[in-house]
Amino acid sequence: MGNTARVVNPFNWRRPIGQGRFELHVFPLRYVKAVVGSFRLILGLLGVCAFAADSNLNNLLDKVESRYNRTKTLQVLFTEQYTPPGAIRRTESGTLLLRKPGKMRWDYAQPKGKLFLSDGKYLWIYTPADNHAQKMKFKESDDMRAPLAFLLGKLHFEKEFRSLQGRPEGADTRILAEPKTENLPYSAVGFVVTADARIREVKVTGFDKSIYDFTFDQEKLDPPLEARLFQFQTPPGAVLEEAKE
- What is the domain-level CATH number for residue 117? 2.50.20.10
Rounded Cα–Cα distance for residues 147 and 153 (Å): 12
For residue 59, being part of any structural domain is answered with: no
What was the pLDDT predicted at 20?
Answer: 53
| Alpha-carbon distances of 242 from 30, 108, 201, rounded to whole Å | 79, 22, 32
DSSP string computed for 53-64: HHHHHHHHHHHH
Q: Pairing between strand 211-221 and 239-242?
A: unpaired
pLDDT cut 70: percent of the chain above it = 72
For residue 74, being part of any structural domain is answered with: yes
Residue 243 and residue 140 in contact, taking contact as beta carbons nearer than 8 Å: yes
Decide if pLDDT at 1 tops 80: no
In DSSP terms, which residues pair with 235 in a beta bridge? none
Q: Which pLDDT tens digit goes with each residue over 210-227?
A: 898 999 999 999 999 999
For residue 9, being part of any structural domain is answered with: no
Q: Which pLDDT tens digit goes with each residue over 69-86?
A: 888 999 999 999 999 988
Secondary structure (3-state) at 9: coil
Q: Which pLDDT tens digit goes with each residue over 35-65?
A: 444 344 433 333 333 333 477 888 999 999 8
What was the pLDDT predicted at 14?
Answer: 47
For residue 50, being part of any structural domain is answered with: no
Which domain range does residue 90 map to? 65-242
- Domains held by the chain: number: 1
Out of 35-44, 133-142, 192-201, 206-215, pick the least confident. Answer: 35-44
Confidence of residue 201 (pLDDT cuts 50, 70, 90): very high
Confidence of residue 140 (pLDDT cuts 50, 70, 90): low
For residue 42, being part of any structural domain is answered with: no
Rounded Cα–Cα distance for residues 114 and 35 (Å): 66
Q: Pairing between strand 4-6 and 172-179?
A: unpaired
For residue 6, being part of any structural domain is answered with: no
What was the pLDDT predicted at 121?
Answer: 87
Decide if pLDDT at 147 tops 80: no
Rounded Cα–Cα distance for residues 99 and 77 (Å): 15
pLDDT cut 90: percent of the chain above it = 40
Q: Which pLDDT tens digit goes with each residue over 171-186?
A: 999 999 988 877 777 8
What was the pLDDT predicted at 42?
Answer: 39
Q: Which pLDDT tens digit goes with each residue over 11-20?
A: 344 444 455 5
For residue 210, being part of any structural domain is answered with: yes
> Chain centroid to CA 191: how far?
3
Choose between 40 and 168: higher pLDDT.
168
Decide if pLDDT at 5 tops 50: no
Average pLDDT, the chain: 78
User: Which segments of the chain are extended strands (E)?
Assistant: 4-6, 26-28, 73-83, 90-99, 103-110, 112-118, 122-127, 132-137, 161-169, 172-179, 186-193, 199-206, 211-221, 239-242
In DSSP terms, which residues pair with 212 in a beta bridge? 82, 204
What is the arrangement of strands in the sheet containing 172-179, beginning at the earlier edge strand? 161-169, 172-179, 186-193, 199-206, 211-221, 73-83, 90-99, 103-110, 112-118, 122-127, 132-137, 239-242
What was the pLDDT predicted at 100?
Answer: 85
For residue 162, being part of any structural domain is answered with: yes
